[in-house]
Amino acid sequence: MRERTDIASPHPGNRLKELRLLRGLTQEGLAERAGLSLGVVKKLEGGGNARLDTYHGLARALGVRTSALFESGGAHAATRKDDDNIDLMPLRQAIAPAVTYSGRLTDTVAVDPDLGRLRSTAVEVGTAYHRDHYAYVAEFLPSLVHAAHAAVAHFDDGPEHTEAVRIRSDVLQMAGRYLTQVRAYDLAHTALRDAISDAVRADDLGSVAAAVYQQGWLLMRQGRLDEAEQVSVTTADAVEPRISRATKATLGAWGKLLVHGSAAAARNNRPAEAREILRLGRTAGVALGAGQAVAVSSWGRFDWRTVAFQGIENQLVAEKPDRVLRLSEKLPAPTDRKGRLFMRRHLLDVAQAHVMMRTPGEATVILWSLMNETPEWLRHQQMAAATFHDAVRKSGRRRMTLKERELAKFFGRR
């Protein structure tokens, strides 16, 4: 129902069977409680894998945290293709270089001592990411990472060194965000780990918060919900500002962390904790008033709507699509394209809620609009593809409409 998350955890079906038997449930009984087919339960207990929302439904039916299904198992048994290793080779070489006895292989990049120019280039690449120009980002990000490494090595002391480290943290955050988007999770983790380390070295709490925010998104994509909640809430506690003196950027970073913490708790079948964390996040939104905090190279945008969107998403996670639609109707409609882009992730929740309420035509209209307005972003949203396929299936028609055929082509369905 929510964003489909690739799960690489080894054989969660073993844990699923163990918990089912402890509760005295048959496979049929568990499937009925979770609102799934018997075939899905059998497939998982037989060693298959599923999307994160499927595990969430099963965990809720069993009365456990979603993460409890991934707490045991052996080595990953599935084979993986090498295609992404080739496609991402330049970024792999920049973020996870080979090392020798004396350390990492030295970057052969001519150093531009102008840190202002390096910073402006980083902002340019960050802006391209937010505009969904992923091809541009993929082309220039590797050289930008190399340049940031070279700048840190060149300015080995003093305020220039600190600024170079801060810039490298921002660049690695962008890399981590892009890599998470394209599902290169292990490489994204390396980039974000180093980004956090650089932010700590630069003694920049705002940058630390931003990097941890990105890490929380990655951890949720991996199904590591306990950790996603913990890193978000712990860091939010550390950077909590004095509201009367806080800048927009400080409020935005703090609020974004709390929103992610709430999202992780909701997905982990901890609704009370999700509500409490989001209540704190609402404080940041209220403090901004009608204003908006923006950090192009890291966590994007934050205002009161960010908190509202997350509260609605938590209702979807709880399988309450009627509340999703009712609450969504109360939100003001965007007045321009920028406003619509800001709420595009929320619109996917609304589309999924329509499918759950058996109004698939409404979901198709939303997906069609997003495909025309923001195709590059939509192409990487597995939730969107799954929602479309569910909508077609529940429409009950033998032949697809023109819009459905174009969406099917877009999502790769033949």
Asked if pLDDT for residue 102 goes beyond 90, the answer is: no
28 and 104 in a single domain? The answer is no
Asked if pLDDT for residue 118 goes beyond 50, the answer is: yes
Asked if pLDDT for residue 62 goes beyond 70, the answer is: yes
Asked if pLDDT for residue 89 goes beyond 90, the answer is: no
Residue 39's pLDDT band, with cuts at 50, 70 and 90, is: confident
Q: Compute the average pLDDT of residues 142-152.
A: 91
Residue 109 inside a domain? The answer is: yes
110 and 259 in a single domain? The answer is yes
User: In which domain, by residue range, is 26 found?
Assistant: 12-70
Among residues 290, 319, 348, the one where a domain terminates is 319
Three state DSSP letters for the chain: CCCCCCCCCCCHHHHHHHHHHHCCCCHHHHHHHHCCCHHHHHHHHCCCCCCHHHHHHHHHHHCCCHHHHHCCCCCCCCCCCCHHHHHCHHHHHHHCCCEECCEECCCCCCCCCCHHHHHHHHHHHHHHHHCCCHHHHHHHHHHHHHHHHHHHHHCCCHHHHHHHHHHHHHHHHHHHHHHHHCCCHHHHHHHHHHHHHHHHHCCCHHHHHHHHHHHHHHHHHCCCHHHHHHHHHHHHHHHCCCCCCCCHHHHHHHHHHHHHHHHHHHHCCCHHHHHHHHHHHHHHHHHHCCCCEEECCCCEEECHHHHHHHHHHHHHHCCCHHHHHHHHHCCCCCCCHHHHHHCHHHHHHHHHHHHHCCCHHHHHHHHHHHHHHCHHHHHCCHHHHHHHHHHHHHHCCCCCCHHHHHHHHHCCCC
294 and 359 in a single domain? The answer is no
Asked if pLDDT for residue 9 goes beyond 70, the answer is: no
174 and 264 in a single domain? The answer is yes
Residue 79 inside a domain? The answer is: no
Residue 216 inside a domain? The answer is: yes
- The predicted-structure confidence for 162-204, as pLDDT tens digits, reads as follows 999 999 999 999 999 999 988 899 999 999 999 999 999 999 9
Residue 215's pLDDT band, with cuts at 50, 70 and 90, is: very high
- The predicted-structure confidence for 351-395, as pLDDT tens digits, reads as follows 999 999 999 999 999 999 999 999 988 988 888 999 999 999 888
125 and 24 in a single domain? The answer is no
The pLDDT score that the predictor gives to residue 76 is 38
Asked if pLDDT for residue 104 goes beyond 50, the answer is: yes
**Better-predicted residue by pLDDT, 322 or 135:** 322
45 and 190 in a single domain? The answer is no
